[in-house]
């Protein structure tokens, strides 16, 4: 909720930057999750 309020006060360029940042972070987290999952799958048949 706080993020949304802060987002309302940001100019358009900053919101685009934040969306890109969130996209990058989520993709990194997804990659980490996939890595740990595949490693566990490889270790435990």
Q: Report pLDDT for 26.
A: 81
Percent of the chain having pLDDT more than 90? 0
The Cα–Cα gap between 8 and 17 comes to: 14
The Cα–Cα gap between 1 and 38 comes to: 34
Average pLDDT over residues 19-27: 83
Q: Which residue in this structure is represented by tokens 């909720």?
A: 1
The residue ranking higher by pLDDT, 42 or 22, is 22
Q: Identify the domain containing residue 26 by its residue range.
A: 2-43
Q: Report pLDDT for 15.
A: 72
Average pLDDT over residues 14-43: 76
Paired tokens of 26 = 């989520």
Residue 38: pLDDT over 60: yes
Domain count, the chain: 1
Report the run of H or E that residue 27 belongs to, with start and end.
helix 12-43
pTM of the shown model: 0.42
């Amino acid at each position: 909720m706080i993020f949304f309020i802060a987002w309302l006060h940001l100019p358009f360029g900053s919101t685009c930057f934040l969306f890109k940042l969130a996209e990058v972070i989520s993709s990194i987290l997804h990659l980490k999750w996939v890595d740990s999952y595949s490693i566990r799958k490889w270790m435990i048949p």
